[in-house]
Amino acid sequence: MPAVTPQPADRFDFPLDPARYGPYVYGVSGPAKVDTRYGVQNPGLGDDGKCFVDVSGHKVPFRLLYHAGEDWFLLDARRQVTGDAKGHPVRAIGNGLVIGKQDIGSQGKIVVIEHLLMDGSHVWSAYWHVDDVPVAVGSIVYRGDAIGVVADQGGNSHVHWEIRTWFDGTNLYPPTTAGGRGTCNGRVPALGYTWDDIPARAVPGYWGYLDPAKFIRSMNNDK
């Protein structure tokens, strides 16, 4: 299987139309204490422990984790979040090679695409909570190609999407970090959230995640 598509990604689009979709932001796109932008903590996610373990040996509450991508929901005419995104097409953000595809049960599937940039470097886009995926691993896709539809998660139907400087997150966290102490490693698509006792390495940018919306705008020279 080739490492990358032979055609570089010279321009990028969003996986969903930004005029109709966007993140949930408390007090802006909805009344719930939820924020699904990149790099934020989400107070609405509660105290259930996830795979990160702090220096005291306690699991870190979900609400303290930093979001490593963006969750995009369907917005109504007032740009308020609705739960009606299920079945809507999700599109490849740029030319690339489908490098990963994983079924995560009731939450749909994860699709990962590798992109060769014009300067010779690579990035990977990941799309979570997608169903009816028509592409196989090893398929070349082009910007705007449908790679599936938003999975039905009821009122929580959305797409979590990421831009990363790596593909395989199996051993993303060294043993001395909160992710390494816990059970965050061993996941090829990683977790989609980051955290650590040391603030400088708690945020997703430290681990090679890029702000997805900012990345697309910068690659297209958009303000």
Q: Are 124 and 113 in contact (CB under 8 A)?
A: yes
3-class state of residue 188 by DSSP: coil
183 is a domain residue: yes
What pLDDT sits at residue 105?
A: 92
Three-state SS for 28-68 is CCECCCCECCCCCECHHHCCCEEEEECCCCCEEEHHHCEEC
pLDDT higher than 80, residue 217 = yes
In whole angstroms, what separates CA 172 from the centre of its chain? 16
pLDDT higher than 70, residue 2 = no
Domain around 59? 21-219
68 is a domain residue: yes
HSE-CB for 36 with a 13 A CA cutoff: 20
Q: 3-state DSSP: the chain helix, strand, coil percent, rounded to 5?
A: 15, 35, 55
Confidence of residue 86 (pLDDT cuts 50, 70, 90): very high
- C-alpha to C-alpha distance for 24 and 61, rounded to whole angstroms: 20
Residues 89, 90, 95, 101, CA torsion sign: negative
In whole angstroms, what separates CA 20 from the centre of its chain? 18
pLDDT tens across 134-186, in order?
A: 999 999 999 999 999 999 999 999 999 999 999 999 999 999 999 999 999 99
42 is a domain residue: yes
pLDDT tens across 40-72, in order?
A: 999 888 889 889 999 999 999 999 999 999 999
38 is a domain residue: yes
Average pLDDT, the chain: 93
168 is a domain residue: yes
| Count: domains in the chain | 1
**What CATH number does residue 163 fall under?**
2.70.70.10
